[in-house]
Amino acid sequence: MVAALGRNCATSGPPYLLYTYLAYNSCVQKFYDNAVPAAGAQHSSGGVRVPARLTIGGVQIPPATVLAPMAGITDTVFRRFIREMGGCGLLMTEFTSADGLVRRKDKKAKRYLHFYGDEHPIAAQLFGSNPESMAEAARTVEELGFDLVDLNLGCPAKKVVKCNGGSGLLRELPVIRKIFEAVRGAVRIPFTVKFRAGWSERELVFRELAKMAEDCGLDAVSMHARTREQGYSGAARWEWIAEMKSLVSIPVIGNGDIRTPEDAAAMVAATGCDGVMIGRAAASNPWIFRQIAQYTETGRYDVASRADRYEMIRRYFRMLIDEGFPDAPGKMKQFASWFTHGEEGGAKLRKAIYEAKSAEAIADSVDRFFELEAELETEAVSVGAAAAEVSTLPMAAETVGSEVWD
């Protein structure tokens, strides 16, 4: 089972994937309990666009957009799915326990960090608090052919924090320095770090952390501009990203609350960041990277039609089944829910797929849903209704917004 490998920092306990997914989602829930307007509503880009290229170490990343690591989501199928859609510069794995990887340096490890040739450039993300294990795990990542290795200092999940991984380390800067030095000394591929701004607003560490990363020879820093204490509440503090950018000369990747191409451009304009990282929005609007690329080039972008959405879900399902993931039905349910949020009748579909027992039954429910919708659209056209409006979805901000993760 792919998900099981090396993902517990304790030797026993619930499967890491499920645990982390739930932990992250409980944070995400909080984010939407405190829903804020889409970031683009508060910032404007004044004509600034996302850069066409980002260079990290020697690795070229065109364009300067990154799929955020998301446990339970950014597996090889989702990553390739996003890559095929176009416009995403860098892919990242879900985070992986360095200790687990070192303990089980065998076939299973390779399977867990499995990726395909068309995923380059790709970064593997590791978490852990032991410098030696981190260094050894980073060497494994390099041997496996990843283009970059990333250290996670952002995960707020209690179980990870308890083992001093993820955002737990934000209170242990001397340990972080040791990890930075050990990993830097162990690999030649670019080494990056992703963190939250600090444990709490009173304990912000992003300034020291970014400078330490640069001193220790790391090649880039990414920040989700919230504190650990914040979870997903409130708005991401883009001004912290701007401040960080002014302190270091290695590339800075900004992350937090990008929901639309306008948001991405606005973050670059507001912070001067060298690249943008997108998480939740990609899960319900996988076109977002392509839309950003189009917006960069032309100042406008296409929105997905209902037919596009249907085709996209079917293709993703096909890819999941072809990959032979044992949890394909679970993932199909999860994605069918997200991808149909904001759709008329979506609640009924979600109920049907929740009750479905197999991959085929889930696919059938989705087929029925879209076929029925297509019939309704045809009827609307025949009576001269405003069919064009029915066939285009509202922009991502509305479909990606607060309900998606509820």
Summarize as ranges the residues that interact with ligand FMN (CB under 6 A): 21, 24-25, 28, 68-73, 94-95, 125, 152, 154-155, 194, 224, 255-258, 278-281
Cα dihedral sign, 220-222-228-230: positive
Distance of CA 181 to the CA centre of its chain: 27
Nearest to 208 by CA among 171, 238, 239: 171
* Helical pair 306-323 and 359-382, crossing angle rounded to 10 deg: 170
CB closer to ligand FMN out of 92 and 212 = 92
Give least dist CB 385 to ligand FMN, A.
Answer: 36
Q: How far apart are CA 309 and CA 384, in angstroms?
A: 24
What's the Cα-to-Cα distance from 207 to each of 69, 211, 272, rounded to whole Å?
A: 22, 6, 16
Backbone angles phi, psi at 370, to 5 degrees: -75, -35
Question: Closest approach of Cβ 159 to ligand FMN, in Å?
Answer: 13
Strands (E), 169-228: 191-198, 220-227
Q: How far is the CB of 324 from ligand FMN (least distance, A)?
A: 23
Minimum distance of ligand FMN from residue 74's CB (angstroms) = 8
Nearest approach, Cβ of residue 386 and ligand FMN (Å): 33
69 neighbors 94 (Cβ within 8 angstroms): yes
Which residues are part of the catalytic machinery?
A: 155
- Whole-number Å distance between alpha carbons of 256 and 352: 33
Q: For residues 296 and 317, give the distance between their C-alpha atoms in angstroms, rounded to a whole number.
A: 30
Query: Any residues with CB less than 8 A from the CB of 317 and at least 6 apart, and which?
Result: 332, 359, 362, 363, 366
173, 199, 267 from 203: Cα distances, Å: 12, 6, 24
Helices 206-215 and 238-247 meet at what angle, rounded to 10?
A: 30
User: Alpha-carbon distance 227 to 209, whole Å?
Assistant: 14
Closer CB to ligand FMN, 21 or 310, in the complex: 21
Cβ proximity to ligand FMN, 353 vs 404, nearer residue = 404
Angle, helices 238-247 vs 261-271, to 10°: value is 40
Residue number of the CB closest to ligand FMN reads 279
Total residues belonging to the chain = 406
Closest distance to ligand FMN from the beta carbon of 392 (Å):
24
